[in-house]
Every structure is written in C-alpha cells, then in structure tokens.
Amino acid sequence: MVDETSKSTRSTRVQVLQYRGKSFVTGLRWHPLGSVTGHMKEARQFGREHLLDIVAIRRTPAIIQAGFVARSDGVTKGMYSLAATLAGQLGDSWIAAWKTDTDLDQYALVAVYQGGVISGCDMIGTGAEVRRRVAQQRSRGINFLHEYLPVEFEMGGQPVDIEELLQPSRLKREYRLRPLVFGLSKAELAQWVILISLIAAGAIGWAQWQSHQEQIAREAAFQAEKQRLAELARLQKESGVEQLPQALEHPWAKLPSVADFLQQCSNVIYQLPLSIQGWQFSDASCNGKQVLSSYKRTGNSTADNLIAATKGHFSDRPAFFDGGNSATLKFDVSIPAAGDEPLKDAIDMLANLSSWLHSFSQEPTLKELPVVVPVEPALPGQPAPPPPPPPEWKQFELRYTTGITPLDSLTGAPSEGLRLREIKTEYRAGHLLWSVIGDLYAK
C-alpha cells in the first residue's frame, strides 16, 4: 500500500511504498555517472546543482548510476530504492508493472535496459499512465529480455511477484538510500591529489611532446622548402632560362629536351662496337640516365676477354647472365632538364607530331594516359594536406618502331611538350631496328 504521508510531500513524483514494514521509494531521478574513481564527487556536484541530497548508487559491469531525491520529498536515509532493489534481482533488461493497492487505480512501473534504470520509468501512476509509458518504451525499439506486466494490461508478459522480491531477506545494503554529503572524504581527497598530480605530469609531458612535434614539423617544412628551391635552381641552371615556381608541378619541365636526349644517347649507342673480343652486339637502350648494351658470347670467347677489353670504357664492370653467355655493359649519361614551356591544344599537337612521323613512313601510336598528380606527404605531427586540384594538362604515350635512327626521324620534329622515355635498338639480320617511347604533354 502507499504511505499516506507521501501525499503531502513537495513532489508528487516521489512516493513511498510500504512492504512488510520496509519503505521503498519511487520516482528517483536517475543519472549516469561517468567517472569510475570519482563518481561520488560527480554525484555530489549533480546533487548540489539540482538541490538533491539523498542518493542510491548502482554499480554494474556496464554502468554506474545514481538515483537522486531530496529530504524535502519526505525521504530519509535507510529507506530503500524500489528500482535499485528490483534491478539487483531481475537483471539488466526488464520492465515490470503491478498494482500497488487493490482499492485504487494506482500502478508502479520500473524498467531497466542495458543495466541502467530508464529515466522516467521509476514511477507511480494510474493504469492508463503506466500503459502509455510501457507502450512508449516499446515504440523506441527497446526489446526487454523479460516483461512482467499485469494481466489486465493485455500487453503480454507475466505478472511479477512483488511480495517475494521485496521480502526482508532479499534486501541488501546497496539498495538503501544514503545522504549525499557535499565535500570529499579523506580517501577521496587522497585519490584526487594523486589524480591531479598524474594529470599535471601528463600535461607537462604532453606540452613537451607537442613542442617537440612542432619543432619537427617546422624543420621538415624548412627542409621541404629548401629542397624545392634547390630543384627550381637546378632547372634554371640546366635549362638556362628563368623558371617560375609552378614548373616544379610540371613533369615535362624536369625532363631533357628531345634534341638533348637524342644527341646524348646517340653519341653513346653509335659508338658501341658490333663485336668485342668475340662477344656480339645484341641490343642497346637509353633512358636518359644510362645506356645499357647487351652482348652475346660466340666461339671460344670468355668473360675475362670481355672484362679486359671494356675496362675503363664503361661505367661499371660487365654484368653477366644467361649462364655467363650474355653480358650487359652500362654507360652513365647526364642530360640537362629542358625546363618549363607552354603547351598547345592536344588536337593540334597530336596532329603536328603524327603528321611529321607519317612523312617518314612511320606508324606511331599515341594513347592518352590517366594523369595522377602526386599527393604531398603530411609533415610530422600535421594533418594530411588537401588533395591536389585536377591537372590542367593531358598526357599521351608515344610509341613507334622504325628502321630509321631516331636522330634522323625526330630532328626538326614539333617537340613542344614532347619528352622521350627510351630509345632502343636491336641488331637483327645485319640491320638495326629502332623503337622509341615518349610522352606528349598537351592542354
């Protein structure tokens, strides 16, 4: 039955039920506590702010929760929280309702989900009010593991044996309400001193680490800018023309001109002998940084013969493969960058280049390639830079094979935006067969 004194209290939300001589309080204001070590400090702060000075504390593996009430609501320490008492026995997911007085339209409702008492579901109300509150929880998509509802609600579930659950032998000290004394105990004060010391030490350490990271970021930014300026100076020196900073974003600016590429590579390839001490020339390629030539052993020629004959004439000793029957000779070349230059429309540049090569009876293929602008790496301790804007140019791969030397077929060709990747020659049936790979950059 309901304690009659509760009708004159300040809050009609808070009521006291009597079962077997024990007082059970409903209508507590339930609030989760976030701190494991300082939850009582958090509870006192909440109570001070909301003028609530009595509390029930619930601790489960999933949640720490406080139910607050005020002395002015007619509540005293030693009473039990009805919700805490039932939650301690029924588990982490359930809803229960029952009639508190056979002569009144008055029902109690308590609901617990994921270990915590649901706010607003520790209450006394009429049958209609409690039914609405049950339906409201269901409409929120909450599926309780157990439902203990009166038969007259016609909402399923099964009745709860409240007399059994509230008998004195089942009551524990943790279900009791206790005064919410404002201030800190000695043990809590010691914990806070330790915690504050750790926080201060951590803050100092974090500040030092942050300062170190900022210093690293500044140094990295300085080195990156230094490298960028050095690269720009190199382009200006090699091209002999002043270069604007955006030249560093253009891949063709950093590559040799067609004329320089052909001249340097041809000077080396044309001087390669067809035979060295019985080793016969097979093929040669130049990528603008080195010329690699291959020779095959014939007759009774030996590796020692080739090593002795090429000593001092190439950049390195021969590299043998194919069981020692073939060898590669390397000759390093250094070709200056051409620098930046304006680009024309792709349709015009493609037509001009293909027309030039067709006039030499060549059959070039020009295929557009996807242009991927490299992403600048993030500096240490800094967020990743935004993605670069889409490129303002297109790239076309040039390939053709010919019996004419590239020096002959490309000298005088329209070379704006044209850069060579590789020229290669193979010795077949007494003739040299040439192949050319390059890139045409256009708007």
pLDDT in tens, 252-269: 988 999 999 999 999 999
pTM for the structure as a whole: 0.49
Q: What would the mean pLDDT of 428-435 be, rounded to a whole number?
A: 88
* Structure tokens belonging to residue 177: 């309400």
- pLDDT band (50, 70, 90) for residue 294: very high
Q: Is the pLDDT of residue 122 over 90?
A: yes
- pLDDT band (50, 70, 90) for residue 184: very low
pLDDT (tens digit, 9 = 90+) per residue, 359-392?
888 899 999 999 887 776 666 666 666 776 788 8
Measured CA to CA, the distance from residue 23 to residue 10 in angstroms comes to 18
Q: Let me know how long the chain is.
A: 443
Note the Cα 25 to chain centre separation in Å. Answer: 50
Say which amino acid occupies 324: G
| Helix (H) / strand (E) containing 320 | strand 319-321
Half-sphere exposure of 111 (CA within 13 A, CB side): 23
Question: Which residue is listed with tokens 């040799």?
Answer: 256
Measured CA to CA, the distance from residue 107 to residue 124 in angstroms comes to 6
Q: Where are the beta strands (DSSP E) in 27-79?
A: 29-33, 54-59, 64-69
Q: Where do the structural domains in the chain lie, given as residue ranges? A: 4-183, 185-241, 244-375+391-443
Measured CA to CA, the distance from residue 351 to residue 359 in angstroms comes to 12
Measured CA to CA, the distance from residue 246 to residue 122 in angstroms comes to 70
